[in-house]
Structure 1
Amino acid sequence: MHRYRSHNCGELRAADVDTDVRLSGWLHNRRDLGGILFIDLRDHYGLVQLVARPGTPANEALSSLTKETVVRIDGKVSARGADNVNPDLPTGEIEIEVSEVEVLGAAEQIPFTINADDGVNEERRLEYRFLDLRRERMHRNIMLRTAVISAIRHKMVALGFNEMATPILSATSPEGARDFLVPSRVHAGKFYALPQAPQQFKQLLMIAGFDRYFQIAPCFRDEDARADRSPGEFYQLDIEMSFVEQEDVFQPVEKLMTELFTEFGNGRTVTSPFARIPFREAMLKYGSDKPDLRAELELVDVSDVFAGSGFKAFAGKHVRALAVPDTGDKPRKFFDQMGDFAVQQGAKGLAWVRVGENNELTGPIAKFLTEDDIKSLVDALDLKPGHAVFFGAGEFEEVSKIMGAVRVEAAKRAGHFVEDEFRFCWIVDFPMFEKDPDTGKIEFSHNPFSMPQGGLEALETQDPLDILAWQYDIVCNGTELSSGAIRNHEPEVMYKAFGIAGYDKETVEAEFGGMLRAFKFGAPPHGGIAPGVDRIVMLLADEPNIRETIAFPLNGNAQDLLMGAPSEVDEARLKELHLSIRKGPAKPTPYKPTK
């Protein structure tokens, strides 16, 4: 028999009764019923129940061991009585009568419960992540991630893509976030940058003639954490294709996502084909460029209705309305709660009206509306008896943010939200440039390496803020999975686009010399995208926070509480790297691991 196990803890069944077995695993739980010990033994594959009778060496050994001790046991498989069968456990028809126990790894008292969710805070969980990962939910999430990545690789190869690796140590690039810098020991005063994305390299692969590339690529960005963003590092499915237009990129990605979310979606359906929604339309109808289409309500711009209105609170402002069917008879509490929700999003309040049997309007602002106002609203919103209408007024961006959130919340509260579906869409026609609200400077709004719609002519003849780009996002259930673009592959277009964003020709050549040289030696039209692996798994696992799908994430302050990173470096190492430390202002006391 093998030194540690003849079987794993999840594979024994009724057909194995009377078999002598050897198992190894962790002591998951223990119950003492009248001197008979019942032990749940756990390994990677599952749980199995052990039985140790009173007066046996096995009973004596197991009764004194702490939970999470690693043991090897020998025993015989026996059938459970009919009343003791556990239908929720694959091994629930059998148990193991233990005859011998060997401790392989003793465990100290564990700092939190493994076999139940005891509400321990995230900081403690990350400090003892190796224990946290023993929990069933976390173990399942990480194995889901493994299965998803394996499936992605197989599906991408089947779609005709080739997996290739790109460098980790490279040069800085204006991807929109801060770089992580690596000081060079042999080139004093110079730094490598960890890649925010393999953007330039995957384009160079297309120029080199490889046609269809993919990679499960590690990316590094020095940015703050969010529920759907891990600070420091993340992984993306990096894709690039040659001789393609926008729809040519969409087709294989739609096929991949449909298959992936169907296979791992636990019965949830995937709506197909994916909707194509222009950016400006998305902002108007949904208040967001990452709309949750499970909410089956849309916003309507009614600014014109109130442009000359006597209702001073709305006059001269951007006004968005949300009509919600089947809510006219809701109690006042419903409207008050929606108002409270809007205030939480940053609004000063939430105006509303109800629609009566004869399309008359009642509610807090109804008395301020003229007959013409009411008729215009009924026509613009296609109002029917039983509707309620919520209004937001102010600056476009502010109203979009608040009313976009109100749209989803109202849909959930009023029964117009579809559960158990993955609703994808493509957001297209992004502006090529935007204006920095603080400085007024024109800058790239998306990917700086994108092809403008209209090419060089558009850059030379149009207002930069009117130029659209061949840029797109893929969104699922309100989560942006990825941005992508058809790339610019013409040097003159690149010079002009970067010039509009404030980069002179010398700067462009200094920062993107490799790319420019490549463009001058025959570059094919090409484009790509890079869906986030972490976000895909987060959606499939139905987790609200991306850190729940990563084995060893940094916390919200970009700290590794298990390994103690970031850490200080001694003077000898700093000298070798030609660095000195300049202390900044005092910062809050960092989290200290508990002993």
Structure 2
Amino acid sequence: MAESMKGLKRSHRCTEVTKAEIGSTVTLMGWVQKSRNKGGIVFVDLRDRSGIMQIIFENGDIDEQGFEKAGRLRSEFVIAVKGRVEARSGAVNPNLPTGEIEVRAIELRILSEAETPPFPIEENSKTRDEVRLKYRYLDLRRPDLQKNMMLRSQVSTLVRQFLAKEGFLEIETPTLIKSTPEGARDYLVPSRVHPGSFYALPQSPQIFKQLLMCSGYDRYFQIARCYRDEDLRADRQPEFTQIDMELSFVDVEDVLDVNERMLAFLFKEVLGVEVQLPIERMTWIDAMNRFGSDKPDLRFGMELTDVSEVVKDCEFAVFKGALENGGSVRGINAKGQGAMPRKKIDKLVEFAKGYGAKGLAYIAIGEDGTVKSSFAKFMKEEEMQALIQAMKGENGDLLLLAADKTKLVWDVLGALRLELAKQMDLLDKNEYRFVWITEFPLLEWSEEDERFTAMHHPFTMPMEEDLQYIDTEPGRVRAKAYDIVLNGNEIGGGSVRIFQDDVQEKMFEALGFTKEEAQKQFGFLLDAFKYGVPPHAGLAYGLDRLVMLMAKVDSIRDVIAFPKVKDASCLMSEAPDIVDEKQLEELGIAIVAQKEETTEE
């Protein structure tokens, strides 16, 4: 039977009790981690969010009724215990913060009994994800997840503290907004009051934060909930959280400066890690040429080498064809991997095909200098030597080459570089390598839409010196955009915004928008710009992704209290679900079953 807390008040969390309290009386409350009944004495590990404290129940210290209750305690019972703090009578446990002390109980109340949980509440659970997510409220009791949640809370608190000190105002923007089809797919919310009309949930507070700059708030931030109806991956969720900010009367340098200082502050306070300032910078084109990625992982080398010039006269059709089609030939040197078995190399070829490659060419250099290659017969001896030299190949190295359109070669080698780093164990989770990627292309060509689309969004400022190319060579225009990358993950991105009418008009033209279309989609922002708009810029972080890296876990699900799974459903609450017919009627919505077409034989 559950008892009440009446007359008892918790004095400490478990690990808040230290050796300094020896001899004093404390009241602790929490969950039974485990209980060991040794006849005349019962040992209980009591757990709360701070950690574990050993409790001793011995007949004589506690009344007979209390001792009898202690004998029937089971895992996950919720209890309140009053007792004296003592030095441990048994062996000291160096793995626990409270390992030198214990509490001798003088009073016990069972606040709530518990059924046996479907999996043990312990760190590094081996239980299947599906089971853990179905019983997420139990999963969240596990110490490692609790540690992640507390770290997340600490990061949010420190961000607020830092930005407030820097003169930022925390302002909330609406979550029921107008749908703007540019970008990822919106989640739609039907309006009951306006039948047939829909709100969208925001993919980011972009337009509203720019409006706040027009309203003179000059430094805004928000820890904002955002929504995207897109396919999920390990680091994607349908709803996620951004640390969002916008600043007026600034240029790129100002935004980078305040954010570098914020990151240094966060990492020092939370992890005790010193971030070296200023953070390294790299242009987009440089990152692509060197790492095949605009979010390069700098914890290891293995940079790409462009060998197009070296192989341009060889007879190997794959290289020749790629260069004739305006592509390139590039490679990476996997140091010390020359003895990799053929089977493993074939697996890498299959991996590369998954990123669109037709294949991979390789050169394996033995420890004795012998060369094995998939294309040696098409190369003269001196051509092969020149290629090995260009890639700094030494005895014991494995050289892997891709040839195709340059964008595809970048993608393939960028992914292959990371795959090899995993296999060669080059990724240290305790190392934090930041880099700013700058000067992104303003526009990228979409094969699907057969037009240029904005690489970031339609309000990104082009670099002044490139504006001259916007009509003739739109693909050549660079943007005043910047991403902050940590260990191969983009954790934030932003840009300087367009604030002049003529530049915005040019941008919409380049994107294929008519004046009417632009007005229809973004009218209220464009109208606001007519009444005096300051130069402004901003940036937003993915809070989930940032905390994931700080917590050294592999998925953002481990730093979100109640995450969704791959198909955007919640295994615990079973959302999304069908709703009552009456609710649909009020909204003027009918669900139409899709009939499968049947054809007569």
* TM-based fold match above 0.5: yes
Whether the 8 Å contact between 2:14 and 2:50 is mirrored in structure 1 is: yes
**Is the counterpart of residue 264 in structure 1 residue 265 in structure 2?**
no
Distance 2:594 2:486 in 1: 41
* Superposition deviation, residue 114 in structure 1: 0.5
Whether the 8 Å contact between 1:295 and 1:408 is mirrored in structure 2 is: no
**Is the counterpart of residue 10 in structure 1 residue 49 in structure 2?**
no
Post-superposition Cα deviations, 1:302-321, rounded to whole Å, max 9, x if no partner, equal: 12333331122332223211
SS of corresponding position for 2:576: coil
Distance 2:445 2:193 in 1: 40
* Superposition deviation, residue 54 in structure 1: 6.1
Post-superposition Cα deviations, 1:71-90, rounded to whole Å, max 9, x if no partner, equal: 11233323213x51112222
**Is the counterpart of residue 98 in structure 1 residue 105 in structure 2?**
yes
* Superposition deviation, residue 9 in structure 1: 1.7
Distance 1:132 1:42 in 2: 14
What amino acid is aligned across from residue 441 of structure 1 in structure 2? R
Q: 4+ runs of 1 displaced by more than 6 Å?
A: 356-360
**Is the counterpart of residue 570 in structure 1 residue 575 in structure 2?**
no
* Superposition deviation, residue 481 in structure 1: 0.9
2:87 maps to which of 79, 83, 102: 79
**Is the counterpart of residue 254 in structure 1 residue 260 in structure 2?**
yes
**Is the counterpart of residue 560 in structure 1 residue 570 in structure 2?**
yes
Whether the 8 Å contact between 2:168 and 2:220 is mirrored in structure 1 is: yes
SS of corresponding position for 1:6: coil
Distance 1:366 1:34 in 2: 78
**Is the counterpart of residue 177 in structure 1 residue 187 in structure 2?**
no
Partner residue, 2:531: 521
Unaligned runs of 5+ in 1: 587-595
* Superposition deviation, residue 376 in structure 1: 3.7
Distance 1:2 1:258 in 2: 47
SS of corresponding position for 1:47: strand
Post-superposition Cα deviations, 1:478-517, rounded to whole Å, max 9, x if no partner, equal: 1111221111112232233223222211111111111111
Distance 1:214 1:527 in 2: 12
1:311 maps to which of 310, 316, 319: 316
Partner residue, 1:66: 74
Distance 1:131 1:575 in 2: 38
**Cα root mean square deviation, aligned:** 2.6
Between 55-64 and 468-477, the greater mean CA deviation after superposition: 55-64
C-alpha spacing 1:201/1:148, structure 2 compared with 1 (3 Å): same
Matches for 1:162-201 after TM superposition, within 5 Å: 162-174=169-181, 176-201=183-208
Between 447-456 and 537-546, the greater mean CA deviation after superposition: 447-456
C-alpha spacing 1:338/1:144, structure 2 compared with 1 (3 Å): farther
Distance 2:347 2:309 in 1: 27
SS of corresponding position for 2:495: strand
Distance 2:130 2:274 in 1: 35
What amino acid is aligned across from residue 477 of structure 1 in structure 2? N
Distance 1:394 1:284 in 2: 14
Whether the 8 Å contact between 1:295 and 1:418 is mirrored in structure 2 is: no
C-alpha spacing 1:127/1:355, structure 2 compared with 1 (3 Å): closer
Count the aligned residue pairs.
Answer: 580
C-alpha spacing 1:412/1:391, structure 2 compared with 1 (3 Å): same
**Is the counterpart of residue 468 in structure 1 residue 461 in structure 2?**
no
Partner residue, 1:536: 546
Unaligned runs of 5+ in 2: 1-5, 323-327, 597-601
What amino acid is aligned across from residue 197 of structure 1 in structure 2? S
**Is the counterpart of residue 244 in structure 1 residue 250 in structure 2?**
yes
Q: Give the TM-score, by structure 2 length.
A: 0.90
Partner residue, 2:443: 433
SS of corresponding position for 1:280: helix
Between 205-214 and 492-501, the greater mean CA deviation after superposition: 492-501
Whether the 8 Å contact between 1:67 and 1:107 is mirrored in structure 2 is: yes
SS of corresponding position for 2:531: coil
C-alpha spacing 1:2/1:401, structure 2 compared with 1 (3 Å): farther
C-alpha spacing 1:194/1:2, structure 2 compared with 1 (3 Å): same
Partner residue, 1:548: 558
What amino acid is aligned across from residue 254 of structure 1 in structure 2? E
2:219 maps to which of 199, 206, 212: 212
Post-superposition Cα deviations, 1:415-450, rounded to whole Å, max 9, x if no partner, equal: 765663211112222222222223422222221111
Percent identity of paired positions between Structure 1 and Structure 2:
42
Q: Give the TM-score, by structure 1 length.
A: 0.90
* Superposition deviation, residue 252 in structure 1: 0.8
SS of corresponding position for 1:10: helix
1:275 maps to which of 273, 280, 285: 280
1:32 maps to which of 32, 37, 45: 37
C-alpha spacing 1:271/1:393, structure 2 compared with 1 (3 Å): farther
* Superposition deviation, residue 469 in structure 1: 1.6
Whether the 8 Å contact between 2:470 and 2:477 is mirrored in structure 1 is: no
C-alpha spacing 1:461/1:454, structure 2 compared with 1 (3 Å): farther
Whether the 8 Å contact between 2:466 and 2:478 is mirrored in structure 1 is: no
Between 33-42 and 545-554, the greater mean CA deviation after superposition: 33-42
